[in-house]
Amino acid sequence: MAEQSTIAAVDLGSNSFHCQIARVAGDQCYPLDSLREPVRLGAGLGKDKKLDEESQERALACLARFGERLRGLDRHAVRAIGTNTLRVAKNAKPFLRRAQSALGFPIEVVAGREEARLIYLGVSHSLPASRDKRLVVDIGGGSTECIIGAGYKPQKLESLFMGCVSYSMRYFRDGRVSRSAFKEAELAARAELQPIVGRYIRGNWQQAVGSSGTIRALAEILELSGYTAGPITLAGLDRLRSQLIRTGDMAEIDLPGLRADRRPVLPGGMAILHAVLDELNIDELTPATGAMRQGVLYDMLGRFHHHDMRDVTVAQFMQRYHVDAQQAKRVGGFATALYEKLAGDTVDESAPQLLAWAAKLHEIGIPVAYSGYHKHSAYIISNADMPGFSREEQERLAALVLNHRRSLKKSLEALPEEENRALVLALRLAVLLCRARRDARFPPLDIRLQGERVRLAFDPAWLEANPLTATALREEVDEWARVGLELKVPGLDEIALAQEPVLAD
């Protein structure tokens, strides 16, 4: 990926949308412009887990404005990230199509732990260098992330299903505040925290840091109200909670530093923060300026400098599942060469990378069971936390791996139509031809894709000398015919095919 001089990150949060534009100089990002709009997308999520039209229209209008500011930037210079609301919304896919059109750039939806990783990356770059272990807490609109790390490396990542928008709507309806509402909200938050308390309680870290607008807003309100002097404390939150309860209605509360758009979601965020400090035994929480959008910028910078977290993740998976690295390299090289011939001048620059990952991961399901290992491999890729990958990237990778052998599945639709056949055919043929798992010399071959027809030409003498491969190619011809693609291998019909034993599926 070519380095860009100006890059941008767009954060589609459940409460606010942010756009951060930065100048790249060496290994640093310097802010040029920042946009924020209180879209409150999470407020439009109904009981049916669908986004209502009103919240979608707010989001689309905001993204159109962001798109105007980003106009002229290279496609690879902008990365837009969707978080919790877009993870859970049942109508996220049709909304994302409209959203990408409004913004003018692709939008990725990331898993909770990937969101946590990006948050930590952004926060750690905003803090002075330290060898201390840090706890980072980020309260978003629909989720709360807790991370422990040292330097720029996160060590523990969790994303909890509680946020300032969802909790304010659930426990403080219409802005009504009461002691019982706070008690109910805090108990719910403490229940969410219980599974992670043992790993995140004080003693596992030396410094606690808070990210997100909720935490920064509460820190400012507490200091301006005279309840604290700097870091957030439980005592300060207790005093602020008593003031809110006495007033009883967020519409009537008068707090210094409280913006109008933050008012409706403050009590939910405050209840969550109180529970976090109490359960994790945090004496002081220091607000930080860094956030996920800064993490996205630095993650992009890493990709430009060939320090891609996705490559690290794939290498870790290969080690964890005892992948035959030589076979993966063999298949990957062959698949890439075949794809480039199939795609011709229309090569998608991300496709060789996707094929390389698929080749490295296509056998990770073997330790589960050899029978149907391609299904096990695809399941792992679909459901595992894969740092650096978006949900869409995991879906594409899983679809490619699932279809690398045996019958072609409906999941082929997870790959864009213009590239799916070329990618899958290249990987399937590479696996087929490298089945002997040794560095054999292959004769020259020619492969061309024209519409619904592929011509694969071998030296007929080589095919005749390798009847097992010829048999596998005949099965491949039949399988592609089933999905409407004619795979023509000249001379194949004239070869006496081997009686290959049926392998377990």
pLDDT band at 419 (very low <50, low <70, confident <90, very high): low
pLDDT band at 401 (very low <50, low <70, confident <90, very high): very high
Predicted pLDDT at 411 = 64
pLDDT band at 307 (very low <50, low <70, confident <90, very high): confident
Predicted pLDDT at 412 = 66
pLDDT at 314 over 80: yes
pLDDT at 501 over 70: no
The CATH 1.10.3210.10 portion of the chain extends over 309-444
62-91 confidence digits (pLDDT tens): 999 999 999 999 999 999 999 999 999 999
CATH number of 309-444: 1.10.3210.10
Q: Supply the Cα-derived Rg of the chain in whole angstroms.
A: 26
Predicted pLDDT at 1 = 53
Give the fold, CATH level 3, of 6-111: Nucleotidyltransferase; domain 5 (3.30.420)
pLDDT at 131 over 90: no
Query: b/e string for 283-317 if b means 16 or more Cβ within 10 A?
Result: eebebbebbbbbbbbbbbbbbbeeebbbbebbeeb
Element (H, E) at 319: helix 309-320
Predicted pLDDT at 498 = 56
**Average pLDDT value for the chain:** 93
Predicted pLDDT at 86 = 97
- Which residues have CB under 8 Å from 191's CB, separation 6+? none
Instruction: Look at the block and give the residue holding tokens 């300032």.
Output: 164
SS3 369: coil
Cα torsion 408, 314, 422, 442: sign: negative
What's the rounded mean pLDDT across residues 42-52?
Answer: 95
Query: pTM higher than 0.85, yes or no?
Result: yes
pLDDT band at 421 (very low <50, low <70, confident <90, very high): confident
Quote the tokens at residue 400. 């490619």
> Which of the residue ranges 13-17, 97-101, 135-139, 249-253 would you say has the lowest mean pLDDT?
249-253
Q: Provide the pairing of β-strand 28-37 with 17-25.
A: antiparallel
184-215 confidence digits (pLDDT tens): 999 999 999 999 999 999 999 999 999 999 99
pLDDT at 100 over 60: yes
What does the DSSP 8-state code read for residue 13? Answer: -
Q: How far apart are CA 285 and CA 211, in angstroms?
A: 10
End-to-end CA distance of the chain: 38
The CATH 3.30.420.150 portion of the chain extends over 127-288
Element (H, E) at 160: strand 153-160
pLDDT at 288 over 90: yes
Residue 140: closest CA among 279, 287, 14: 14
SS3 34: strand
Predicted pLDDT at 303 = 87
Predicted pLDDT at 343 = 85
pLDDT band at 418 (very low <50, low <70, confident <90, very high): low
The CATH 3.30.420.40 portion of the chain extends over 6-111
pLDDT at 127 over 90: yes
Which of residues 458 and 87 earns the better pLDDT score?
A: 87
CB 292 within 8 A of CB 36: no
What's the rounded mean pLDDT across residues 368-375?
Answer: 95
Which of residues 233 and 302 earns the better pLDDT score?
A: 233
pLDDT at 503 over 80: no
Q: How far apart are CA 458 and CA 464, in angstroms?
A: 10
Predicted pLDDT at 417 = 64
> Which of the residue ranges 144-153, 315-324, 396-405, 413-422 would you say has the lowest mean pLDDT?
413-422
pLDDT band at 461 (very low <50, low <70, confident <90, very high): confident
- Residues constituting the chain: 505
What's the rounded mean pLDDT across residues 271-291?
Answer: 97
What percentage of the chain carries pLDDT values higher than 70?
95
CB 6 within 8 A of CB 80: no
Q: How far apart are CA 202 and CA 121, in angstroms?
A: 21
Give me the architecture of the 127-288 domain, per CATH: 2-Layer Sandwich (3.30)
Quote the tokens at residue 100. 């990408």
Q: How far is CA 33 from CA 69, 163, 408, in A?
A: 10, 27, 47
> Which of the residue ranges 131-135, 374-378, 404-408, 418-422 would you say has the lowest mean pLDDT?
418-422
pLDDT band at 390 (very low <50, low <70, confident <90, very high): very high
Which of residues 298 and 463 earns the better pLDDT score?
A: 298
Q: How far apart are CA 210 and CA 248, in angstroms?
A: 27
Predicted pLDDT at 360 = 98
Predicted pLDDT at 230 = 86
Q: How far apart are CA 306 and CA 308, in angstroms?
A: 6
